[in-house]
Amino acid sequence: MSSPEAVRNVPDPQIVAFPSGSLTLKGLLWKPIENGNLPAVLFNHGSEPSAWEGGYSTFASWFVRHGYVLFIPFRRGHNLSSDQGPYIGALLDQTRAEEGDEAWSRLMVSLLEGDHLNDQLAALSYLKTLPFVDDNRVAVAGGSFGGIQVVLAAEAATSIRAAVDFAGASMTWAHSELLRQRMLVAVRNARCPIYFIQAENDFDVSPSRVLAAEMQRLGKPHRITIFPPFGETAMDGHLLGSRGGDIWEQEVFAFLADSMK
């Protein structure tokens, strides 16, 4: 795992603000000590409304020590952007309770490919304006709902070089045919390589396997790794992306380096 020394050496993040339509969203930005022309990764958080338990320092350390700028923008209704619109989880829970699973599925896909994708693309545009970022070496990554955002960005964004999907849709795949079909369309239209990563004990590894198989069928560049179980529970496995960098570090940064040549 990241050593205490590695975490201590991570600079404090800068809180930044960026526009998304009429909203002003916020995010956390880490920059290595090096100056200028740096590769960058935008990491899409999941559906959690507030900060991860224990904060982001350990996670950031894996990127900073490899020389990457790391940007974690908070989409509307989440964390530092909680005042910029309703929280997606509350909207989905209410819709499911009042209108049922089909309405929940429709709203989920509508929000993820609409407002939330727009927020991610706005964050990408902001990241590329930073003077120390090489705008030709920018990638996206994310976990859970953020992994879905990664797949949608691989279709929508014309200027990202790579995408890393940690456990995207593993908690929702089996419950939404509409989401499954939307993600299949996205990988068919992907403009960059996608690396699908899950732990074997995640809730459902079908998303990675099905989406990677579709890219394989079409001859599109991709990778897939199903790592051995991480922790003991399905939720432990689901959190491999945010907590298990010591496991995926070598593979992910090799993938990013190869994709950004």
The residue with greater pLDDT, 57 or 75, is: 75
Q: Quote the pLDDT of residue 15.
A: 95
Q: What is the pLDDT of residue 229?
A: 98
What's the rounded Cα separation, in Å, for the pair 170 and 73?
A: 22
SS (H, E, C) 12-68: CCEEEEEEECCEEEEEEEECCCCCCCEEEEEEECCCCCCCCCCCCHHHHHHHHCCCC
Please compute the mean of the pLDDT values over residues 204-226 and round it to a whole number: 98
pLDDT exceeds cutoff 60 at 37:
yes
Q: How many residues does the chain have?
A: 261
Pick the more confident residue, 25 or 35: 25
Full-model pTM: 0.95
Residue 144's SS3 state is: coil
Q: How many CB atoms lie within 10 A of CB 154?
A: 24
Using alpha carbons, list the distances in angstroms from residue 227 to 84, 148, 180, 238: 37, 19, 22, 11
Q: Output the pLDDT for position 2.
A: 44
Confidence bin at 5 (pLDDT 50/70/90)? very low
Residue 4, pLDDT > 90, answer no
Q: What is the pLDDT of residue 1?
A: 40
The pLDDT tens digits of the residues spanning 131-159 come to 999 999 999 999 999 999 999 999 998 88
Q: Could you give the percent of the chain with pLDDT greater than 90? A: 88
Least confident of 43-52, 114-123, 205-214: 43-52
pLDDT computed for residue 57 by the predictor: 84
The pLDDT, as a whole number, for residue 54 is 58
CA distance 149 to 117: 6
Whether the predicted pLDDT of 11 surpasses 90: no
pLDDT at 158 (0 to 100): 82
Q: How many CB atoms lie within 10 A of CB 72?
A: 24
Scored b (16 or more CB within 10 A) or e, 222-237 reads bbbbebeebeeebebb
Fold of domain 4-85+112-169+184-259: Rossmann fold (3.40.50)
DSSP state of 260: T
3-state SS assignment for residue 185: helix
User: What percent of the chain has pLDDT above 70?
Assistant: 95
Query: Is the pLDDT reported for residue 217 higher than 50?
Result: yes
Q: Once rounded to an integer, what is the mean pLDDT over residues 30-56? A: 87
Q: How many CB atoms lie within 10 A of CB 158?
A: 6
Q: What are the distances in angstroms from CA 56 to CA 47, 53, 122, 193, 227?
A: 16, 8, 22, 26, 22
230 touches 247 (CB < 8 A): yes
Query: What's the confidence (pLDDT) of residue 9?
Result: 66
18, 40, 52, 122, 175 from 128: Cα distances, Å: 12, 9, 26, 10, 36
Looking at residue 185, its pLDDT comes to 98
- What per-residue confidence (pLDDT) applies to 52? 65
Identify the band that residue 10 occupies on the pLDDT scale cut at 50, 70 and 90. confident
